[in-house]
């Protein structure tokens, strides 16, 4: 039989996993207000390999906007990792696959890990720290492109749709 603590732990895990998903969606949708709302006021986001640190919620909108504006296109997938809950704080890892092309023309395919710290707040779980560790980086030109640059890659005239 599950105890109330089991249900609380399960709910916490679901909420933290949803928080990580919201981060990825907010970044990809360039929703910087929502992105900032996912962090505590004193939170820090670090990407050590790129020399990037965003400290405090106040910096998230402007610095994340600058980082995202450097991309022609950007796609990030978050895969579940670990979550370790200790009362109103937690830590965890999320596994990342992302690709994109910078406005400079360089392309990137990364496999990485977010090392996270979370805190329960009156508004639910929030990030207090995210540290991005690149495990694999490929700067080779990407073979594909966003739809519209080179069409959809499908000869639409050969497709017949019947109702």
The C-alpha atoms of residue 147 and residue 99 are separated, in whole angstroms, by 15
In terms of Cα–Cα distance, which of 100, 25, 18 is closest to 67? Answer: 100
Residue 103 lies in a domain: yes
The C-alpha atoms of residue 9 and residue 152 are separated, in whole angstroms, by 45
Residue 151 lies in a domain: no
What's the pLDDT at 14?
96
Residue 158 lies in a domain: no
Q: How does pLDDT run across 23-39, given as a tens digit for each residue?
A: 999 999 989 889 999 99
CATH number reported for the structural domain that contains residue 105 in this entry: 3.10.450.50
Residue 162 lies in a domain: no
Measuring CA to CA, how many Å separate 23 from each of 3, 34, 61, 156?
A: 31, 8, 13, 35
Q: How many domains does the chain have?
A: 1
What's the pLDDT at 149?
61
Residues of the chain with pLDDT under 50: none
What's the pLDDT at 23?
95
Residue 30 lies in a domain: yes
Q: How does pLDDT run across 128-141, given as a tens digit for each residue?
A: 999 999 999 999 99
Domain with 132 in it? 4-144
């Amino acid at each position: 039989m599950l105890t109330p603590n089991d249900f609380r732990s399960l709910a916490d895990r679901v909420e933290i996993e949803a928080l990580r998903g919201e981060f990825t969606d907010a970044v990809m949708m360039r929703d910087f207000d929502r992105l900032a709302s996912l962090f505590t006021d004193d939170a820090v986001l670090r990407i050590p390999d790129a020399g990037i640190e965003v400290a405090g919620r106040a910096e998230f909108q402007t610095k994340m906007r600058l980082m995202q504006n450097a991309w022609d296109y950007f796609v990030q997938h978050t895969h579940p990792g670990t979550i370790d809950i200790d009362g109103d704080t937690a830590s965890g890892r999320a596994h990342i696959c992302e690709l994109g092309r910078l406005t400079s023309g360089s392309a990137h395919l990364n496999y990485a890990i977010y090392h996270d710290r979370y805190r329960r707040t009156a508004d639910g779980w929030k990030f207090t720290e995210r540290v991005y560790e690149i495990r694999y980086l490929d700067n080779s030109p990407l073979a594909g492109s966003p739809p519209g640059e080179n069409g959809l890659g499908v000869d639409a005239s050969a497709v017949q749709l019947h109702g």
